Amino acid sequence: MDIVIIGSGNVAAVLGRKFKAAGHQIVQIYSRNASAASELAYEWDTESTNYKILINKNADVYLIAVNDDAIDDVLNELKLPGKVVAHTAASVLKEVLKTVTEHYGVFYPLQSLRKEMVNLPDVPIFFDGSDEKAKHILATLAHSISAEKVVEAGDDARVKLHVAAVVVSNLVNHLYTLAEDYCRKEGLDFKQLLPLIEETAFRLRETSPKLAQTGPAVRHDAETIHKHLDLLKNHPQLKNIYVLLTESIQQTK
């Protein structure tokens, strides 16, 4: 397929690379950040523009991969009748695109993507479309780049999925941040915890998180918990979260 990518950030960069690897042609990249767009255009041997009026009108698919709060600005005066246009946002309704084309949808990659990635990760894709043409094109595009699941998901399901994604990725990463800060202040090496982190995540491929739960909270080991809280007296933020999550574990049936 011939694709125009609108955006030059993390999602645009990684998806663009995956499209190229799958044999698609990126005919243009549009971004308000002319420098970032030019850099990606050079990498993909294509053209770039930072003028909306110059967006190529002959592509098969137009993918809007920008921050949620930038979508309205992109859509202002954008008209692509007859074309398939999709955004990549989890929490934005597909109907925001109805003024652009009659064939609109969502192409949501459920993965943490970074522009500097050397190895392209597997990316489950959740898609939706306004009509059968949009759904067919977006599903075909998704299957071409994803070795993982490709799932049709409406706005309601996609937003709920995003909540779960924030919990298992962003919130868990914040716990890593607090643990790293604790280790630094206590003269410990956070990297010594990496094998445990990797094993805990890998285990979930075989069993439910609930069944994999271990530690003093699930054992109701009050003595160990009290020792930990005493050690955390100089780390109030981490102590509060330790108490909150310990109580949550113990209340989980």
Question: DSSP letter string over 67-113?
Answer: -GGGHHHHHTT---TTSEEEE--SSS-GGGGTTT-SEEEEEEE-S--
Give, in order, the Cα–Cα distances in Å from 198 to each of 20, 61, 202, 208. 31, 38, 6, 16
* Res 122: pLDDT: 86
Domains of the chain: 2-153 (3.40.50.720), 159-251 (1.10.1040.20)
Cβ 155 vs Cβ 90: under 8 Å: no
* Res 253: pLDDT: 80
Cβ 42 vs Cβ 32: under 8 Å: no
* Res 121: pLDDT: 82
Could you list the mean pLDDT of each consecutive 10-residue stretch along the chain, which spans 253 residues?
96 95 96 94 95 94 94 92 96 94 96 86 92 97 89 94 95 97 97 96 94 95 96 96 97 89
Report residue 209: phi and psi, to 5°.
-55, -35
CA-closest candidate to residue 190, choices 201, 180, 175, 204: 180
* Res 77: pLDDT: 87
* Res 118: pLDDT: 75
* Res 23: pLDDT: 95
Cβ 84 vs Cβ 138: under 8 Å: yes
CA-closest candidate to residue 159, choices 64, 109, 93: 93
CB count within 10 Å of CB 138 equals: 25
Cβ 80 vs Cβ 57: under 8 Å: yes
- Which amino acid is located at 161 in the chain? L
